[in-house]
Structure 1
C-alpha cells in the first residue's frame, strides 16, 4: 500500500514558524506563520509521519518489534498479520484474507492510501512467485546501470573482479571527475541488497570514494560488464518446510596492504535461502589468522542472535540451535575451550561471547573445508570455476523455468531471453 502525501499527515510537537510565502500580501509585513502540520523539507517531517502509522497500528492492537522497529505484528487466535513500514509504503501479509481487508479499511480512515495489490515491485526489487517460493531480483535496476554506462554492447565478464588485484596500492592518475565513479559505486551498493556475489566487489570499491583513480574506475566498469551478462540473478526464498538457520563465516587475514586489517564476511541461510550477508573490514589488527577467524565468528554470532529475535517477533521462534560453519580449526578450539592461554589473552572480551552462546545451546559450531566455505565468495576475488561453484551452492538463481527455478550456470546470459517470457 502507498500513502498519499505521507509527510503532510504528521503533527508537529515543536513550535515551527515560517516566513510569508512570496506573493502573499498582508497588512502586517512583519508577521510569520506557525505550522500545525509537517511539510516536505522539514527535518521533523519524517519522525512526525512515522508517529502517525505507529499510533494507528498500536490502536489496532499491533505490537512493534524491538528487533526491527519498522515491523508490526498482530496475533489474535489463528489470525496473524504482519506489517512492514518503509516511509510511505506498507507491505502487509497474513493468513486471513478477510482480516487483511478489514485492516486496510480501518487504515484508510486514518489517512489516504492506495492499495497496489499483490507485491510485485518494491524499492526497485522485483518479486515473482510460484510453488518453489519467492524470487527476488533487481534485473531492471541492473540493466539501467548497464544502459547508463553505455556498456549494453560490451562483452560480459564471468566474474565481477579479477583475481590478485592490487587496487589498494594502485598508483594510477586520479580521476578529474570522480562523480561518475561515486554514482556507480552507490548504485552497486544498493544492488547488493539481492546480490551476495557483489558484496566483496562493493566493499573494495567503496573504499576509494574520496579520491578514486583510473584503475578503480576500470574495476567498477568490469562489475558493470559482469551485470550485463547476469542481470537476472537473484535470491530464491524457498517455500520448503525445512527452516534451519545455517551461517558461514570466514576471514582473510591482513588482506588490506595499507592498514593490515583483516576482512570479515558471513552469509546466513534460512531453509537453504540466503537472507543476510555482510563483508566488512575488522576494526582492529589481528595478530594471527586464528584471531581473525575468531573475530569473524563473533560477528556472525551477533547476527545469529539478532535473527533469532526477529524470527520470534515474526511468530515462529526457533526450536533448534543455529549452525555456524568455520574453516579454521584453531578458532573452533578457542570457541569450545574455556581455558585462557597465551594465544587468546589479547583478544577483546566481546569476542568471547561465542563461548557463552555455545554453552546456552543456541549455537553449534562445525568445521567445513575451505573449498566448501560459502563465505569465500565474500572475502576474496575468485576464479571462474570456484566462483560459479560457490554461486550455485549459495542459492543464487536466475529466473524461473517452466516447472521450477533453475540454478545459475556459466551460460547464464542465455537465461535472460527466457526470463521475460516466464515472468
Structure 2
C-alpha cells in the first residue's frame, strides 16, 4: 500500500518488514496503523493524534464509519456505547470457542467480534442471543454401542465403572444435565469409523458420502 504524497511529507513512515504497517511520529507520540485487505487497525498513545490521523485517512481514502461514528453523524439515539468492555470481551471469548463445533454461529460471532473495544447495547444483546443458542441446544454424541449409551446414562456407580477415566464421568454429568444427548447410530453409519478403523472401499465411500465429500477428479457417473 502506498500512502499519498501528503502523508509522507507529514512524517509517516512505511515499515521495511511489513509493507502494510505504517507509523506516524510527532515528537514523543506515535500512531501505528496496520492495513489488512479492506480492514485497518489504528492505535496509539495520543487520542488527538489518532483522531487527526483518521481525518487524514478519510480525506485520502473512502472509509466506512464505525457504528458509533455513524450514530454521531446521523444523530441516532437509544443505542449508547457501554463503558465496561471486560464483560463483552469475556463473552466473545466464550462464543469464539463455541464456533469450533457450532459453525452456524460463526458469521454472527465474527461480526460481533469487530466491536471488542467499543460495543453498544445492541451488540451485547446480539451476543447474549448467540450464547442462548449454544446453551439451549443440546450437543448430540453418536455411538454405535448401546452398552456405552446405557452406561453413560446410568448415574449409579458400581464396580464395573470404577476404572473409567474421570473425563468419561464428566461427559456423563453433562448428559445428566441435558447439555449432551447420547444418540445410537448403526455401525454401518458411524462416521467416526473413517478416522479410527480400516474400512473396505465400499464402506469408506459410503461414509464419505455422508460427510458430503466428493472426488472432484473422478466424479460419480
TM-score (norm 1): 0.25
Greater length-normalized contact order (CA 8 Å, ≥ 6 residues apart): 1
Larger Rg: 2
TM-score (norm 2): 0.44
